[in-house]
Amino acid sequence: MKVTKALIFCTLLFFRYPLLAQKKNEIAVESRFLQLKDALNQGMVYGGPHIGFRYRRNIAFETWELRYEPRMAVGVLFNRGMIAANFQVSPIDFSGLVPVFRSEKAAVRAGLHFAANYCYQLYPNQMGAHLFWSSEIGFSPCAEYDYRWKNRKITLFLQNSVAGFVSHTQEIPPYFYSLTLADFVVQPHCTMQFGSFNTYNHTNLTVSFTPNVSTHHSFALGAEYFNIYAGKRFQSLTYSVQWKKSF
Amino acid sequence: MQENDLKLPFKTFAPVDLHDGWEIATPAQEGIDAAELTAVYKEFHERGDLWQVRSLLVFRNNKLIAESYTKNPQEITQPVAIWSCTKQVVAILAGIAVEQGLIGSVSENLQTLLPEVIGRFPEKGEITLQNLLQMQSGIAFSNEGFGGESNQLLMQKPANSLDFILNLPKRSAAGEEFHYNDGDPHLVSAILQRHTGKSTKTWAEELLFSKLGMKNYDWVVYRDGITPGAFGIMATPREMARIGQLLLNKGLWKGEQIVSSEWIEEMTSVKITAEKANFHEKSFGYYWWIDEARGIVFMAGHGGQHVFVKPSKNLIIVSTADKTEDERFGFNLQKAFEIVDAIDSIVRN
């Protein structure tokens, strides 16, 4: 009986913050334009439209805020009439933010961001069914600035990687190759290397505008740059327009 | 985002002496206009629609005249995949096997050539070596697409490559229809292994590559131990040229008859007319392509790997390129022949 009471006490203690926390959900649809440059593919630049989806679970505690924001995008890329397919997924994406400054109209929060990002390409016209990938499991500091006026809000979010594990396709096998579902999981993980600014850089900047805070709709413009220097250089630059709805 | 230059600017086509057995000469010494050849090489380096090309080499009278690499000068000694140019090598090896009596003749069929295997596929028993060398086995092996049998072999999905090929249905009777595919040469390689007692790779090293002085090459092996006959050789352009030179020398290399002139003649004579071959109006011998109008026989590999041999001018032209899956975007045969014609036109008889 004592054990049961202790378990109940611990459970209540452990979940005290979530029970008191304010929870909010948000979904977003993105229209993206992505450019991708891969040294393994002669430094050719493929570019094309994508559509993306993201979900955000926002848990605001008394003094800090936790976000879980998985996302995915899919699209096509073109170069010289050749087509490529691109798929991006971030199943793990957490941000923890604490207030740094707060006034009646403005607020600044800063914190740490942790994400696992995966990006896959297939170049059917050029490379057949060879799988190209880039992946990142890394930490970034992040900061957010809010400004409100007349029931409107503008938010600026910035993150930049500091350290993590990255992987990128380093060679194309001359003849025999593999393309299985397992390759999508195994390959980006088995060749990862740890590094910081000397290995990769991932910058994400988003400017959101909420025209009427009470309507739960908002719009955002985003720019994201990902660059792996280690081995064959890989770069991607994404511009996005987002429509978001919170509930 | 700025795209990299896909090709290096042209500097010189003067070959470097690697002491690899190739004698080097100037264009003028071998009756080629140097200024005109410079113009061809400049175009090769500068033409935007030739973004895929990697190398262009010209040989005449057993000598290397010109050589340039558009993407990576290291490729002078780094082997690259030559894809279906492997088939033409296999045709030469088949000739050596016949001449050495390891195989009775090209008329022998799979009942005789692969008796251990063919029992499981009796309907394929009447296919002859000649059928295989002419892409006329009638086996419905497809080179096309992700689901095609060729891609299945590249992904090494079948555990037993011979059973995989022989188990396919027939699309026509043996000898009836030309059907370019990777299955037939793979069977030829399996026959060579069965009758030489060695892997085709090892046997080729002993009987062909080492005698030609080839060093910068490799040949991948399928997971069941069979050396693929349709693709699989990695070689530098200079090594590819040795195969062309062997052809030009009618099988003779530094005083040794590696393969008979009769086999060279047979292998490069028209077996399948251009109309039936339906490939850029080119005819077909034993895996070798023939341009009757130009008097050129040539090796052709996926994505623009070529060795053109013009016996009347004692001329060999080798070109390699980055492969593309779609011929529209690649260094296709039409583009390659534009370069060949330009060089041919400045070579004096």
Mean pLDDT, residues B43-70: 97
Of A42, A126, A237, the CB nearest to B1: A237
Q: What's the CA gap between B42 and B56, in Å, rounded?
A: 11
Q: Do B1 and A37 touch (CB under 8 A)?
A: yes
> Which member of A126, A177, A237 has the closest CB to residue B155?
A177
Query: Which residues 28-57 of A are in CB contact (within 8 Å) with B?
Result: 35, 37, 39, 42-45, 47
- Pick from A39, A42, A177: CB nearest B154: A177
Query: What are the b/e assignments for B333-345, b being 16+ CB within 10 Å?
Result: bebbbebbebbbe
Instruction: Decide if pLDDT at A4 tops 90.
Output: no
φ and ψ at residue B257, rounded to 5 degrees:
-85, 100
Confidence of residue A1 (pLDDT cuts 50, 70, 90): low
- Residue A190's Cβ-count burial label (10 Å; 0-12, 13-18, 19+) is exposed
Q: Are B69 and B34 in contact (CB under 8 A)?
A: no
Spatial contact of A145 and A192, defined as CB atoms under 8 Å apart:
no
Contact B12/B68 with Cβ under 8 angstroms? yes
Summarised one tens digit per residue, pLDDT across range B80-100 is 999 999 999 999 999 999 999
Tell me the C-alpha distance between B203 and B193, whole Å. Answer: 8
Q: What is the H or E stretch that residue A77 is in? A: strand A71-79
Task: Please indicate whether, in this complex, the C-beta atoms of A44 and B3 are within 8 angstroms of each other.
Answer: yes
- Distance separating alpha carbons of residues A32 and A44, to the nearest angstrom: 20
Q: What are the backbone angles phi and psi of residue B181, rounded to the nearest 5°?
A: -160, 165
Residue B71 has pLDDT above 70, yes or no: yes
Q: What are phi and psi of A69, to 5 degrees?
A: -140, 75
- What's the pLDDT band for A14 if we cut at 50, 70, 90? very low
Q: In whole numbers, what is the pLDDT of chain A averaged over residues?
A: 92
Residue of chain A minimizing CA distance to B53: A42
Q: Within chain A, what is the greatest distance between any pair of CA atoms?
A: 73
Q: What is the DSSP letter of A69?
A: -
> pLDDT at residue A17 above 80?
no
In sequence order, which residues have a C-beta less than 8 Å from that of residue A55 and are 6 or more positions away? A25, A26, A27, A28, A69, A70, A71
Residue of A176, A183, A238 for testing the chain B interface, max B β-carbons within 10 Å: A176
A16, pLDDT greater than 60: no
What mean pLDDT do residues A80-101 have?
Answer: 97
Contacts of A35 in chain B (CB under 8 A): 1
DSSP label of B207: I
Q: 3-state DSSP call for residue B129?
A: helix
Distances (CA, A) of B18 to B2, B12, B216: 36, 16, 12
Q: What is the pLDDT averaged over residues A175-186? A: 95
Q: Which of B326, B278, B305 is nearest to B180 (CA)?
A: B278
Minimum Cα–Cα distance from B222: chain A residue: A176
**pLDDT of the residue at B334:** 95
For the segment B98-113, the average pLDDT, to the nearest whole number, is 97
Res. A247 pLDDT band, cuts 50 70 90: confident
Q: Where are the beta strands (DSSP E) in chain B?
A: 23-24, 53-60, 63-69, 80-81, 217-219, 233-235, 252-253, 256-257, 283-284, 289-291, 296-301, 305-310, 315-321
Asked if residue B347 has pLDDT above 50, the reply is yes
Mean residue pLDDT of chain B comes to 97
Write the pLDDT tens digit of every residue in A37-59: 999 999 999 999 999 999 999 99
Q: Residue B327's pLDDT is what?
A: 87
**How much of chain B exceeds pLDDT 90, in percent?**
97
pLDDT on residue A62: 83
- Tell me: the pLDDT tens digits for B190-249? 999 999 999 999 999 999 999 999 999 999 999 999 999 999 999 999 999 999 999 999
Model pLDDT for residues B109-131, shown as the tens digit of each residue: 999 999 999 999 999 999 999 99
From B204, B203, B201, B202, select the one nearest B219 (Cα to Cα). B201
pLDDT at position A63: 84
In this prediction, residue A18 has a pLDDT band, given cuts at 50, 70 and 90, of low
CB contact under 8 A, B232 and A175: yes
Mean pLDDT on A125-147: 96
Helix B183-196 and helix B85-99, axial crossing angle in degrees, nearest 10: 30
Per-residue pLDDT reduced to its tens digit, B25-39: 999 999 999 999 999
Nearest to A208 by CA among A199, A221, A198: A221
Which residue's entry shows tokens 């059973």?
Answer: B163
Q: Alpha-carbon distance B166 to A219, whole Å?
A: 60
- Domain architecture of chain B: domains with CATH: 80-344 (3.40.710.10)
Question: How many Cβ atoms sit within 10 Å of the Cβ of residue A114?
Answer: 15
